[in-house]
């Protein structure tokens, strides 16, 4: 059963590191709405999420502060809820449900896009989907099985906008 899901996506890019068009922001929202419907059997509510674009110095600071790793990384997610994957009962009964924050290092994104021979936008979509699944409670670091589950979900979400 599909329930209408509305996602308010706030893009925070104080240093103007990435130029995201309204059309591409719409694709991020489309993928997110699909995932909310498919993976958490979401309730008929409005959701909110913040997406931050950072430089490597900012990402290093976050990675050290929250993961004790003194290096940059491509994406970090900070969910409000422990896991919405198996049940949406944890969601507060409010008109707008805040999901959390996703942080993406634009220098790492650009480096990986070049390495994988894909566009910066394609890599942004991949990192966003990866981060969003963490927001929902997926965790590839738990086991090989969970890693496979998360990879399959990533592919499914990316197909939502590519159609392939």
Q: Which CATH number fits domain 6-162: 1.10.940.10, 3.40.718.10, 3.40.390.30, 3.90.1640.30?
A: 3.40.390.30
**Sheet containing strand 6-12, strands side by side:** 6-12, 46-54, 96-105, 75-79
pLDDT of residue 1: 44
Cα 147 to the chain's mean position, in Å? 16
Asked if pLDDT for residue 108 goes beyond 50, the answer is yes
* 96-105 and 75-79 strand pairing: antiparallel
The 10s digit of each residue's pLDDT in 110-135 is 999 999 999 999 999 999 999 999 99
Q: Please, are residues 157 and 33 in contact by the beta-carbon 8 Å criterion?
A: no
Alpha-carbon distances of 140 from 82, 99, 103, 132, rounded to whole Å: 15, 19, 18, 13
pLDDT of residue 4: 55
Residue 49 binned pLDDT confidence (cut-offs 50, 70, 90) = very high
Q: 77-96 burial, b for 16+ CB within 10 Å, e for fewer?
A: bbbbbeebbeeeeebeeeee
pLDDT of residue 89: 63
Q: Which residue has the higher pLDDT, 4 or 58?
A: 58
- pTM for the whole structure: 0.91
Alpha-carbon distances of 17 from 44, 107, 108, 135, rounded to whole Å: 34, 9, 12, 23
Where would I find the H helices in 44-137? Answer: 56-67, 106-116, 120-136
């Amino acid at each position: 059963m599909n329930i209408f899901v509305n996602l308010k996506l706030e893009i925070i890019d104080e240093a103007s590191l990435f130029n995201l068009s309204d059309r591409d922001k719409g694709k991020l929202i489309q993928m997110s709405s699909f995932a909310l419907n498919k993976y958490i059997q979401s309730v008929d509510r409005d959701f909110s999420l913040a997406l931050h674009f950072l430089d490597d110095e900012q990402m290093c600071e976050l990675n050290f502060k929250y993961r004790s790793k003194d290096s940059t990384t491509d994406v970090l997610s900070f969910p409000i809820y422990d896991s919405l994957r198996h049940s949406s009962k944890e969601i507060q009964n409010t008109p707008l449900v805040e999901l959390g924050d996703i942080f993406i290092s634009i220098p790492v994104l650009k480096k990986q896009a070049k390495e994988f021979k894909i566009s910066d936008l394609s890599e942004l979509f991949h990192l966003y989907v990866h981060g969003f699944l963490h927001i929902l409670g997926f965790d590839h670091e738990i086991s090989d099985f969970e890693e496979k589950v998360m990879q399959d979900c990533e592919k499914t979400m990316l197909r939502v906008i590519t159609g392939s």
